Structure 1
C-alpha cells in the first residue's frame, strides 16, 4: 500500500495539487457567485437551447435567455420595493406628528412583564436593531465595487456555464478511470435529479402557492393582495415558514378590527394553502430526487450564514448534491460486493 501511495505522489501530481490550492485561494471570495452561476445556468440552458433552435446564434441565444429569466426576477424585486416604499410613504403622510418613541412606549405597556423579557427595554432594543440594520446597509452601499464585481462574475459564470457546461463535464470525465465511469455518470444523473427536485419541487411550488395566495387575498378584499401573494410565495421557499405567517397576521388584524367572519374565512383559506402545499410538492418532487426535508431545512437555515442571502439557494443545493453523491457511492459499493 505504501508503494502504491508513493507511485501516486509524483512531481506532476504535487505541482497540480499546489496550483489547485493556490487557485482555490484566489477564487474563494467569489466562489459563491460561481456556484450560483452554475445553478442558474442549469435552469437557463434549456431556454437557451430552445431559442437557439430558432435563432441559430449560440451567444445571442444565451444572452436572450438570460434576459428572459432575469427580467421577471428584477421586476419582482422592484415591485416589492415599490409597494413597501408606497406603504411607508402613505403611513407617514397620514401620521405627520407620529412620535415613534412614544408609540413604542405605549405598546410596551401591553407586553406582560417576566424575568426573561422586559417590555420597558423594547424601545432601546428596536433602536439598536435599527442602527445595526442602517450600518449594515451603509456598509453594503460602501462596498458597491464588490457588489458590482460579484454581479459581473455571476453573469459571466452563467453565460459560460450555459455555453460550455457540457464541455466542462467532459473535461472532468476525462480524468476518471474507466472502472469508475459508471459511478461518475450515476453521480451526474443524481445531481441533475437534485437540481430538478429543487427547481420544480420547491420553486415551482412556491410560485403556485404565491399565485393562489394573490388571488385569494384579493378576492377577500385585502389591500395589496398581489403583494401579499408574492410574500407568501417567498416565505413558501423557507420550510420553517410557509404561508402561515401571512394568513395568521391577517386574521389577527381582522380580529382586532372586529371583522370576525373574515377571520374564519382567511384562516380556512390559509389552511387550504398549507394543504395544497402538502399535495403539490410531493407530486412534483416525486418525479425527481427524493430528498429528506431535514436536508433542505438545514440547507435553508445554514446557507445564509455561510454565503449570505444567496445561501438560501446554494445551501440546500449543496447539501442535496452531497447526499446524491453519497447515495451514488453507496450503490456502487453494494454492486461491488
Structure 2
C-alpha cells in the first residue's frame, strides 16, 4: 500500500504546524538564551536538589543555586577587568616613554639583518589602530544594545529557573508524543545527551580549570608579575581549540629572551610544554568515561558557534554538534546495527 500523505496532514496537524512555525518566529531571536538556559539548568539542578533537601522550598533552592553558580563567574569577570587595568597601569608607570617604535628598535637587535623595521612599525600601527577602532565600535554597539542584553539575561535566568524546576515535566510532555515503539530510542537518546553534556563539561571545562590552576602556581613560582592572572588567562585559552596555553608561555619566553633572562625563558618554555602534555592526558581521561566524541566535531563547534550565536556560541556550538552526533549514533545503533 502506498503512503497517503493526506492521512497524516489532517486539519489538527496542519493547525499545529502553523502554530509551531509562528511560535518559532517569536522564539528564534532569543533561542540562544533558551538553549543556554537549558544547558546551565542541567549543571545547576544537582546543586538546587541538595539545597532543597534542607530548605524544602524549590523556588528558593533554585534561586540560591543560580546565585552560587553566578557569583564565581561575576567575580572572575571582575577580576580579569581589574587585573587588566592594573597591568596597563603598571606598564605605563614602569615605561612612561614606551611606544611601539621604541620597543621595535629594541627588539631589532635580536632580528636578522635586512629586516625592515619601518615596515613592521607601520604594520603594527595599522593593527593597533584597527583594534582600537574595533573596540570603540563594539563598545558603542554594546551600549546601544544594552536593553537587548538586559532582556537576554532576563530570559536566560528565567530559562534556567524553569528548566531546573520543570525539566522533568518538559521531557515527559515531549515523551508523550513519541510512539510506543520509539520510546526506547527516545530514552536512550536522552541518556546519550546527558553523557555528551558530562563529557564536554568534565573533559573540557574541568580540564581548563586544572590547567589554569597549574598555570597560576607555575607562573607565580617563576616570579612573573601577575602570575595568577596569567594562569587565569591560560585556563580560559585552554577552552579554545587551536589556542590552548601556548600563546601565554611563548609570549613569556620571548619577553625573557628579549630581557636577557635566558634561564627563566628555557624553564617557562618547558613548563608550557608540560601544560600542553598534561592536557593530552587529562582531557581524554575525563571525557572518555561518558562519551567518545571526535575532536573535529568539538573543534567545529567551538569555532563556528560564535559566528552563529555570538560569545555564547563557545558553549552552545560544541554542545549542539555533540548532541547531534550522539542522536545519530544512537539511531545507528538502535535501528541500523540493531537489525543485523
TM-score higher than 0.5: yes
Q: Equivalents in 1 of 2:68, 2:94: separation in Å?
A: 40
CA contact (8 A) 1:105 1:120 kept: no
**TM-score of the pair, normalised by structure 2:** 0.93
Q: Equivalents in 2 of 1:123, 1:152: separation in Å?
A: 41
Cα RMSD (Å): 2.1
**How much has 1:332 moved relative to structure 2?**
1.6
Q: Equivalents in 1 of 2:184, 2:161: separation in Å?
A: 29
**TM-score of the pair, normalised by structure 1:** 0.93
Unpaired runs of 5+ in structure 1? Answer: none
SS state of the match for residue 41, structure 1? helix
**How much has 1:245 moved relative to structure 2?**
1.1
Q: Equivalents in 1 of 2:281, 2:123: separation in Å?
A: 44
2:198 equivalent among 192, 196, 199: 196
2:228 corresponding residue in structure 1: 226
Unpaired runs of 5+ in structure 2? Answer: none
What are the equivalent positions in structure 2 for 1:212-251 lying under 5 Å apart? 212-251=214-253
CA distance 1:130–1:244, change in 2 (3 Å): same
SS state of the match for residue 177, structure 2? coil
Aligned length: 334
Q: Equivalents in 1 of 2:52, 2:66: separation in Å?
A: 13
Q: Equivalents in 1 of 2:121, 2:232: separation in Å?
A: 33
1:75 corresponding residue in structure 2: 75
Q: Equivalents in 1 of 2:99, 2:214: separation in Å?
A: 38
**How much has 1:269 moved relative to structure 2?**
1.1
CA contact (8 A) 1:235 1:242 kept: yes
1:335 equivalent among 328, 334, 338: 338
2:58 corresponding residue in structure 1: 58
Q: Equivalents in 2 of 1:218, 1:289: separation in Å?
A: 35
**How much has 1:131 moved relative to structure 2?**
1.1
2:152 corresponding residue in structure 1: 150
Q: Equivalents in 2 of 1:58, 1:271: separation in Å?
A: 47
**How much has 1:268 moved relative to structure 2?**
1.4
Larger deviation, residues 296-305 vs 242-251: 242-251
1:295 equivalent among 278, 294, 297: 297
Residue 168 of structure 2 is aligned to residue 166 of structure 1: yes
**How much has 1:112 moved relative to structure 2?**
4.0
**How much has 1:132 moved relative to structure 2?**
2.2
**How much has 1:286 moved relative to structure 2?**
1.4
